[in-house]
């Protein structure tokens, strides 16, 4: 019996999405990888077909769909072998902050655009000297009358260049408690004092427009704060469960895709007069990889079911995020070895998969931090 209960509607949605990706996205991936960014028009095509922010309520233009639709998009996007059109980040990590904490006026203003792809979102937490330590951020939010004045710098921000709306984490310089000092704010691109810096050149994720954001006496309405003053750190903690679950889903789906490609290659590639899949060493490598992938799938599917039942699985998703991303890179590395010299060539997809899978052990909280979180909850 499967852990997750996909309906016929889910299957139809997956088939429709896969056809769309094969027609509208995959043929352009190489071009986008070279350009280092995905054109906004591609986001709008995704939105027009109903593949963005599916969980948003119908009154804001969404489908009001369950989380399994998000799982499907995350899995199918992994098979496109590129990172630039970061739909899971937009739909399931950033937009939920607006859904959960924004005012009704803000929801009506922003959510329809998030669904249509006219508004691309980013979340700005990481700073040059504050990554996993969210309580240590230095960007300030000084309240003055009915305005907030923002000053600071954010780095390693996905969707930085394309972003139209940023969920920004900043601290009140007059509050000493580092956890009570943090708030989240909505900041629109084009706001005076908000500047987008250079795009960061990375080892992988070439089509992802990761960049720096600068705030220099940037004035925004105080109403742009999400929720009550001093509640930002708690809000981030509430949403990190889903963020890290999405990371684990991406890792498992990516590993499944790598395994599929590797098996196909090993059946076609010959050496010493027979397919290399017939050599015992190759068979053992593939079986070991397949076992790890299957374990990861079972673990993650159970967490998806628990998450949909609104269970508190902070410890479990921390474990899953660290283990699945480590597993995915192990699979990538072993797969590349089986591809041999060809695997190190850009024309073979495993090269990008190997390169792109590495960063998952760093973002959304490093894997070391995941172990710290789990150990604290275990009373260690």
| Whether 34 is catalytic | no
Asked if residue 220 lies in contact with residue 191, where contact means CB atoms within 8 angstroms, the answer is yes
Pick from 184, 322, 335, 310: nearest CA to 256: 335
- Residue-level pLDDT, tens digit, the chain, 380 residues: 689 999 999 999 999 999 999 999 999 999 999 999 999 999 999 999 999 999 999 999 999 999 999 999 999 999 999 999 999 999 999 999 999 999 999 999 999 999 999 999 999 999 998 777 777 899 999 999 999 999 999 999 999 999 999 999 999 999 988 889 999 999 999 999 999 998 999 999 999 999 999 999 999 999 999 999 999 988 988 898 999 999 999 999 999 999 999 999 999 999 999 999 999 999 999 999 999 999 999 999 999 999 999 999 999 999 999 999 999 999 999 999 999 999 999 999 999 999 999 999 999 999 999 999 999 988 98
How many Å is the maximal CA-CA distance in the chain? 79
Task: Give residue 212's Cα distance to chain centre.
Answer: 17
Strand-pairing partners, residue 195, are 214
Q: Which of 33, 212, 243, 256 is catalytic?
A: 243
> What pTM was computed for the model?
0.95
Name 120's Cβ contacts closer than 8 Å, sequence gap at least 6. Answer: 40, 43, 90, 159, 162, 163, 164, 165
Q: Which two tokens stand for residue 263?
A: 């098996």
How far is it, in rounded angstroms, from Cα 235 to Cα 243?
12
User: What is the C-alpha to C-alpha distance for residues 326 and 342, in angstroms, rounded to an integer?
Assistant: 23
**Where do the domains of the chain lie, and which CATH numbers do they carry?**
8-87 (1.10.540.10), 123-230 (2.40.110.10), 233-377 (1.20.140.10)
User: Whose structure tokens read 């039942």?
Assistant: 309
């Amino acid at each position: 019996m499967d852990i997750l209960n996909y309906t016929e509607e889910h299957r139809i949605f997956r088939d429709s999405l896969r056809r769309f990706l094969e027609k509208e996205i995959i043929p352009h991936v190489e071009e986008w990888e070279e350009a280092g960014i995905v054109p906004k028009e591609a986001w709008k095509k995704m939105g027009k077909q109903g593949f963005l922010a599916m969980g948003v309520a119908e009154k804001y233009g969404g489908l009001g769909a369950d989380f399994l639709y998000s799982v499907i998009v995350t899995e199918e996007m992994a098979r496109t072998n590129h990172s630039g059109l970061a739909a899971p980040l937009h739909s399931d990590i950033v937009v939920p902050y607006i859904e959960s904490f924004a005012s009704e006026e803000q929801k009506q203003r922003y959510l329809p655009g998030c669904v249509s792809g006219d508004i691309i979102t980013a979340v700005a937490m990481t700073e040059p000297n504050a990554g996993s330590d969210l309580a240590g951020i230095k960007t300030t939010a000084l309240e003055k009358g009915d305005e907030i004045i923002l000053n600071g710098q954010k780095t390693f921000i996905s969707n930085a260049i394309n972003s139209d709306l940023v969920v920004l984490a900043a601290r009140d310089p007059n509050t000493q408690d580092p956890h009570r000092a943090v708030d989240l704010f909505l900041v629109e691109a084009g706001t005076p004092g908000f500047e987008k810096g250079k795009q960061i050149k990375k080892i992988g994720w070439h089509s992802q427009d990761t960049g720096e954001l600068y705030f220099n006496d940037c004035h925004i309405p105080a109403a742009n704060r999400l929720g009550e003053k001093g509640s930002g750190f708690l809000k981030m903690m509430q949403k990190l469960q889903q963020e890290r679950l999405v990371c684990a889903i991406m890792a498992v789906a990516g590993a499944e895709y790598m395994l599929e490609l590797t098996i196909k290659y090993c059946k076609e590639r010959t050496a010493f007069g027979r397919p290399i899949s017939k050599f015992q060493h190759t068979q053992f490598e593939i079986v070991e990889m397949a076992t790890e992938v299957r374990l990861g799938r079972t673990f993650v599917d159970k967490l998806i079911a628990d998450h949909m039942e609104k269970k508190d699985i902070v410890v479990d998703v921390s474990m899953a995020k660290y283990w699945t991303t480590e597993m995915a890179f192990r699979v990538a590395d072993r797969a590349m070895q089986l591809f041999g010299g060809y695997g190190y060539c850009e024309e073979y997809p495993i090269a990008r998969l190997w390169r792109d899978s590495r960063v998952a052990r760093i973002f959304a909280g490093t894997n070391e931090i995941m172990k710290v979180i789990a150990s604290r909850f275990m009373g260690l």
